[in-house]
Amino acid sequence: MSVVVPPESIVEVELALQGMTCGACAARIEKTLNGIDGVEAAVNYATESAMVAFDGTSVEQSTLIKAVVDAGYGAHVVDDNPYDDDLDARLRQARTRLVFSVVLSIPVVALSMVMPWQFSGWQWWAMALSLPVATWGAWPFHKTAFKNARHGATTMDTLISVGVIAATLWSIWALVWGNALDETMVHDGLTMTHAGTGHVYFEVGATVTAFILLGRYLEMKAKNTAGDALRSLLAMGAKYATVLRDGEEVSIPASVVREGDILVVRPGEKIAADGVVEEGSSSIDASMITGESVPVDVSVGDNVTSATVNQNGRLLVKATRVGGETTFARMAKLVRDAQATKAPVQKVADKVSAIFVPVVFAISAVTVVAWLLIDGDMEKAFTAAVAVLIIACPCALGLATPTALMVGSGRAAQMGIVIKGIDVLQSTRRIDTVILDKTGTVTTGAMTLANIVCAEGVTRESALRYAAAVEKGSEHPIARAIVSAAEAELGELPKLDEFEAMPGVGAAGRIGGVIVLVGREEMFTNRLVIIPASLKEALATARADGQTAVLISWDGRANAVVCVADQPKPTSAEAIASLKLMGLAPVLLTGDNKTTAEAIAVSVGIDTDEHHLYAGVMPADKVAVVKDLQERGYAVAMVGDGVNDAAALAQADVGIAMGGGTDVAMQASDLTIVNGDLRSVPDAILLSRATLRTIRTNVFWAFAYNVAAIPLAASGRLNPMWAGLAMASSSVFVVANSLRLRRVKLAR
């Protein structure tokens, strides 16, 4: 009987892994961790990390690390920057080993393959030059193979190690006890034929080692490049913060900032936590979070985000979210989590890799037996068997998905797009309908002053001044829009002597001796206030244009109509045009009345028929709209930003949350548009689809390479040296193909 683990006891941790050299290593570690009761792990070969979820009541972190170490690898819990490791040192070490092996391998190959250069006793020189390569140069392969052999396991390095050792030992035996000194050789393309017996294969051990070291080095550099976007993202976080403690400014590590701390942020400094401006005003460079280069002006009461840069004025910021709870940290975690996921096709590849090595050994053994039965030539049998061991290494399988995800999600992160996982990529391929929530998604989500229509003899200035003076006492969005516009145009507003709020209809106030009313038409009708025909016409026009209109009266008559509206974002029309070009059908979903909804739809290019416009939809009914479209056979993406969108985002085939929205919406979504720009939605879909295509291409190539190469090697048509080059090249190809995602064409 399975034990249900309470969600509150689940602990998630990321482990940095050492010693992995191929996809089989990753599969072995993953199998080891998942073999522990209460543990679920996903190992990423490309990032050399493992995302582990476990029952904190029965499993400790030390248990996980010990299991990995016992399996022959190294592990430690990562800090906030999982890529802040000794990568440069490992690259230097790999380069040194590569250069050493190449320099010694060149004369070995020359002596072995160029007949005019073969002087008497050249085989001894070949042995002397190749032995350091086959031992020290190939030591990483031997070391890994030995570690795994102790635990009864095999990896791709086992194939390489056995192949190099076999070729070298055979050659030493032929030289010392055989008749290799009497051997001559004729090179014929990819194969070699021999006159006599006892040929030496020192060039095989040396060149295979050199080629595979070259492949590993290029692979390491390419993986490093693939993760550059995320590393640069993580590096953007603030390292230190200046806080006020007992009235004194103290510099502390950003990681120890506490909620409620007052941060002192000077020009040029990064903000160390999400917070609210308590004092000062400035412009904030938020490009690393939003992808937008235009600075954002902030003042007292405005929210600011961690990792953004203060450009000019001194700010005092009260920390509201710190550490892993900041917007920046959550964004980075989402990207890292996405890179740890696996496509269904990659899961198949992992299973194949796990059993591949024993199968290859069996094929190699069968190759030896078959050649001996068919030809009786031990050297041909040996050569073909070694070629099988070397060519079969499916390292490319282990790189197929992780490298593509690293590059794709890394580029997305630079654009202000967070892709949560591989399932999202699968789903975006099927999308044909995109539902767009109106408020905060297509529109700005904030009311702004659109127009003022005045009765005869009334000035715009007086109407705006009276309206704003009364509305200053209200917190209604319409009131805030009027006040904001008035303060920008007129400056200081008249003092309000009395104020009365009338919820649902308007407000009243006294300014000096003047009674001012601001509100809906019905309030004035009920009070028998005269409304001129011109203002009635203005009210009707505003409604037709999707605007919200209020009347203003003083001296006993209506004097003006003030129109406010939630305006479409400047980029919404362009984004919707891009969706249409992609063959996707945009659908507008809103709780507003049909007139307002139609006006917004027309302004951004969405059709207003019943299939593309849903107006007057209550929050609880948004899920029903998504379900209805799905039941009719459509694959639906839902784009929203509010709490009322969360359920619909979760129901949709792909949920896309606008980053300026609520945490609930972001958690329920599959994609997050951090910059809030609707144009990023088609970009996110295009990039997701391109990433999925790249993964499939990578996996196909990796499988096709092995299917084609193994029979070629077993038939004796591929020399082990060229087999090593081909094997190394396959991994480099997969990584290089993934790197193409950095240049994939998007909607803008």
Contact 306, 233 (CB under 8 A): no
Task: Determine the Cα–Cα distance for residues 403 and 46; give it in Å rounded to an integer.
Answer: 6
**Across-strand partners of 276?**
303, 318
Contact 65, 15 (CB under 8 A): yes
User: At 556, which helix (H) or strand (E)?
Assistant: none
Task: Determine the Cα–Cα distance for residues 515 and 554; give it in Å rounded to an integer.
Answer: 6
Residue in 733, 727, 738, 736 with CA at minimum distance from that of residue 401: 738
437 is catalytic: yes
Question: DSSP E strands: which ranges in 93-190?
Answer: 184-188
The residue from 285, 437, 653, 670 that is catalytic is 437
What Cα–Cα distance (Å) separates residue 382 from each residue in 370, 667, 706?
11, 58, 20
User: At 483, which helix (H) or strand (E)?
Assistant: helix 477-490
Task: Determine the Cα–Cα distance for residues 38 and 64; give it in Å rounded to an integer.
Answer: 11
List of residues 6+ apart from 278 with CB closer than 8 A:
262, 300, 316, 317, 318
Q: What are the tokens at 13?
A: 């941790």
What is the gyration radius of the CA atoms in the chain, in angstroms? 34
What Cα–Cα distance (Å) separates residue 31 from each residue in 24, 207, 341?
10, 33, 15
Residue ranges of alpha helices (H) inside 375-476 are 378-391, 395-414, 422-428, 460-471
List of residues 6+ apart from 284 with CB closer than 8 A:
271, 295, 296, 297, 298, 304, 308, 309, 310, 311
Contact 608, 601 (CB under 8 A): yes
Task: Determine the Cα–Cα distance for residues 664 and 583; give it in Å rounded to an integer.
Answer: 30
DSSP category for residue 495: P
Residue in 102, 172, 293 with CA at minimum distance from that of residue 724: 102
Q: What are the tokens at 488?
A: 């920008």
Contact 743, 736 (CB under 8 A): no
Q: What are the tokens at 242?
A: 């200046």
Contact 192, 186 (CB under 8 A): yes
Task: Determine the Cα–Cα distance for residues 49 and 80; give it in Å rounded to an integer.
Answer: 13
Number of H helices, E strands in the chain: 25, 28
What Cα–Cα distance (Å) separates residue 266 from each residue in 241, 249, 284, 310?
10, 12, 11, 7
What's at 651, amino acid-wise? Q
Contact 417, 683 (CB under 8 A): yes
The residues annotated with a catalytic role in the active site are 437
